[in-house]
Each structure stands twice: as C-alpha cells, then as structure tokens.
Amino acid sequence: MEKNLVYTTCGTCSKLLDVTVENDRVKRVQFIGGCHGNSQGIAALIAGMEVDEAIARLSGIDCGGRGTSCPDQLAKALTQLKNSR
C-alpha cells in the first residue's frame, strides 16, 4: 500500500519534504529548499530502504548545532507516516 506525506520541516534550510512509502519501504523523497545536492544524495541513498532502517540511520543527526538537520527531519516525517497507519 502506498502512502504519501508532505511534511513541513522545522529548524532546517529545507522547508518541506514530500515522502512516499510503499510496503514499508521508502519509495521517493523530495526536499523542497535546502542544499540541493545533499538532499538529492540522501533521497537516492534511502530509496528502497525499509522505513525503520531509514529512521534508525537518520534520527538525531545535527546540523550546525541546530538540534536537527534535513536527515533528522526526514526521520521525523517517516515516523509520522509510519504511525499514521
């Protein structure tokens, strides 16, 4: 089953995340705003990854002492999407 979430980020350069999950695997991620090259890299690396694995790898990553980062916000978006079942 495919699920989609547009997530408003907090504390990062990116403003929105558009995340699609299918059968508990990350199907597609698009960052709106932020560092385009880095966000494309993150999206490519986690494509096809199990949601729980992506959350475990990305949670808690800090950017410049902000207490969060684009990868951390992606983990939060994936958690929200996972819990919306």
Amino acid identity for residue 84 in this structure: S
What CA–CA distance (Å, rounded) separates 41 from 72?
A: 15
Per-residue pLDDT tens over the stretch 29-69: 999 999 999 999 999 999 999 999 999 999 999 999 999 99
First to last CA, the chain: 10
Residue pair 27/21 in contact (Cβ under 8 Å)? The answer is yes
> Quick one: angle between helices 51-58 and 70-83, nearest 10?
140
**How sure is the predictor about 79, in pLDDT bands with cuts at 50, 70 and 90?**
very high
pLDDT value at 85 more than 80:
no
pTM > 0.85: yes or no:
yes
One-character DSSP codes across 20-41? EEETTEEEEEEEEES-HHHHHH
pLDDT value at 14 more than 80:
yes
Give all domains of the chain, ordered by start, each with its CATH number.
Answer: 2-83 (3.30.390)
